[in-house]
Structure 1
């Protein structure tokens, strides 16, 4: 998710999917990240791996703002089932090391007691000031570790993709200079899901053209302690993510019982009448969503699917702590060029015009056409000649990740794109 609005656990399990193959191998694993400010224990990312480890093609997916790897679960399982030669890796950024997700492994009432009773481990700008340095450079250094691991010394092709600002991140990787090595040379393709660069979000009302003075002002605020992006702050920084995950956990386990979470929501999210646990999830994401970025269309995405994705426990659907520096850098990367502001912030976008790998771009109704328009601009300004565009204006921003497979236009157009690259 991209929102100008809003774990060190390893597990392996087999899950049934909607595809004919029935079972898809799945694991959530910890992987080394890059060296960055902060404790060495935080120099790690986590990856949800879905599909055969023997696959010759890996699709690496990056979530958008406040999004986490759990949001890709339904999509990853369906892609891996349809394309046995393709494995899907959904990445949890290093920020998820800061989140205390262990309470969600308990039954709903005990999880609620743990989180609503304030018994969990919380982080503050004072306790983790080094997060103020975790910008796009740190994220891409971590992501390159994942991409190279996926490539396995050249044995496998890697398609890099992302959702919303995760699509922005994927493009930034392709145009980045990794100590003389262009990022796009690590890749066999790019897959953009409802996001991108160069005014991709203009149709939603967001354009990014930072000046040097604006960048300096925001850097000063970060240095003064505004470490976390507060777009979704509803109490503490992590409050929004905790409440949504609790709502999903209750709905997944006790769908028809009176909601145990509604009364804890802030006024702007609280339903006007009593609802069931499942009814609360529907209220939050379909009937009265906080913002369009985090809504679903019930014609595409069932409340039950959404509740399961929210419930986790790991990987989660939402990140707890999003660095302000990462927001700043992604905005500065939007022109997708080696601008003076980009250089000021240490963004190495020096290879954007050299990118020559196949590109897929999907847009929902969120941006009224500007996502694919922006992707066409990227292709025109680079060496990309193989471009696939798809759209479904009735889908919301989250539907491409969670919609029922038969109705998911993004899934049903991305699949042949990936199949062609695997040939």
Structure 2
């Protein structure tokens, strides 16, 4: 997800880096199967408790033979969205691709959240915890270091994920993302890591309804940041504007918490009358009494705040929305989005080195060298500019193989949240990944 005009609409070396696996769900497979959430230490600006990223893993833990590589798909969520966004898609891909493990990454921002209420699994207790103001909030005053959490920090964190997934070169890694997560994936591929281009560690790129170089133009979002605008943005951040305020409704995290509570209620008590509805801001409140499932339908199908947050019931059921947004490990939303990351991603969108990227220290220097296969899928959100932008990337690089697909009736939410049996993107994404696997 990436904000538009109103709502604009990345872990982990097992063993030596101290991974702490969470309880997962075993699947009936002939080989060990993982469905878990793990964390590992990472380095970066801020206190030690924030130097940690997380990943949701789904799929076979090992290949059938030691010499057979496991194709690992690492997915990066979009703006204000967390790894839980990929829950349905990850499970759908992993069950269709027996040699593929899917990793969905939670950025370091999730360390700022207080999930205690959600982790009870009880929507009434969770609502009391958050609506009653009992939870720990994070502010610019309590976390000024977030002002340094831009694209440089994000891609360096993501590099730890990619290197861990490669397992010393024993596995291939395909890097992908949704919305601005796709932008982040492309920035990683073009990034200069002390003389080594990011794409050299990858076997493919997957862009899901996002990308670079005017990918979002069809929605009305064209990013052109001048050097002076970049300096001004840095000044505002240094003065205390460390969090992106686009979806702020009171506190920075209020909107996201309300969405997760709505998902939890719809998951646990779908047919009960909604008590949460009365706590929503006026612009979100239903105009009639609704059940908990009805509230989620109102928010995403009948009366979405913006197009980025709409769902087409032909692809995404209320049950699917509840399964994703009512989940607790991983969660569906990211509460705190750094303003520096918004500035950097906007400045990196042209996907070439500019005076602005130099001002911001963005090392997106190797886009023209990228030579790994690319997959791009677009919904109806941008009216074709996602795939147009992907074609520009291919034309300006050394990419020899590309797949373009889409469905204009799908929404920005549908492409990742829809149940796998109702998600036409899998009809083209699965063969793309199979072909990469067959080429190893």
TM-score by length of 1: 0.97
Q: Does 1:28 pair with 2:28?
A: no
Residue matched to 1:2: 2
CA drift at 1:414: 0.5
Q: d(CA) in 2 for partners of 1:110 and 1:402? A: 26
Give 3-state SS (helix, strand or coil) of 1:11's partner: coil
Q: Does 1:176 pair with 2:187?
A: no
CA drift at 1:32: 2.4
Residue matched to 1:39: 47
1:68-123 CA-partner distances (Å, limit 9, x unpaired): 00000100011111101000000000000001112102211111110110101100
Higher mean C-alpha displacement, 329-338 vs 105-114: 105-114
**Residues 152 and 9 (structure 1 numbering): CA distance in 2 closer, same or farther, change over 3 Å?**
closer
Residue matched to 2:416: 401
Residue matched to 1:75: 89
Give 3-state SS (helix, strand or coil) of 2:290's partner: coil
Q: Aligned to 2:337, which of 302, 316, 322? A: 322
Residue matched to 1:304: 319
CA drift at 1:408: 1.1
**Residues 23 and 153 (structure 1 numbering): CA distance in 2 closer, same or farther, change over 3 Å?**
closer
Q: d(CA) in 1 for partners of 2:27 and 2:435? A: 25
CA drift at 1:251: 0.7
Q: Aligned to 1:141, which of 124, 148, 156? A: 156
Residue matched to 2:23: 12
Q: Aligned to 1:125, which of 132, 135, 140? A: 140
Residue matched to 1:361: 376
Q: Does 1:89 pair with 2:89?
A: no
Residue matched to 1:57: 71
Residue matched to 2:15: none
Q: Aligned to 1:262, which of 277, 295, 308? A: 277
User: 1:238-317 to 2 correspondence within 5 Å?
Assistant: 238-317=253-332
Give 3-state SS (helix, strand or coil) of 2:23's partner: strand
Contact 1:228/1:322 (8 A) holds in 2: yes
Uncovered stretches (5+) of structure 2, i.e. residues with no partner:
10-18, 64-69
CA drift at 1:406: 2.8
Residue matched to 1:101: 115
Contact 1:111/1:246 (8 A) holds in 2: yes
1:185-235 CA-partner distances (Å, limit 9, x unpaired): 000000000000000000000000111111111111111111000110011
Give 3-state SS (helix, strand or coil) of 1:230's partner: coil
CA drift at 1:16: 6.2
Q: Aligned to 1:201, which of 202, 205, 216? A: 216
CA drift at 1:11: 1.5
**Residues 301 and 357 (structure 1 numbering): CA distance in 2 closer, same or farther, change over 3 Å?**
same
Contact 2:37/2:57 (8 A) holds in 1: yes
Contact 1:57/1:86 (8 A) holds in 2: yes
Q: d(CA) in 1 for partners of 2:139 and 2:45? A: 16
Give 3-state SS (helix, strand or coil) of 1:373's partner: helix
**Residues 131 and 307 (structure 1 numbering): CA distance in 2 closer, same or farther, change over 3 Å?**
same
1:366-398 CA-partner distances (Å, limit 9, x unpaired): 000000000000000000010000010000001
Give 3-state SS (helix, strand or coil) of 1:14's partner: coil
Contact 1:32/1:145 (8 A) holds in 2: no
CA drift at 1:407: 2.6
Please report the RMSD computed on the Cα atoms of aligned residues, expressed in angstroms: 1.6
Give 3-state SS (helix, strand or coil) of 2:425's partner: helix
Contact 1:21/1:81 (8 A) holds in 2: no
Q: d(CA) in 2 for partners of 1:240 and 1:22? A: 41
Q: d(CA) in 1 for partners of 2:405 and 2:223? A: 24
Contact 1:293/1:366 (8 A) holds in 2: yes
TM-score by length of 2: 0.93
Q: d(CA) in 2 for partners of 1:100 and 1:175? A: 34
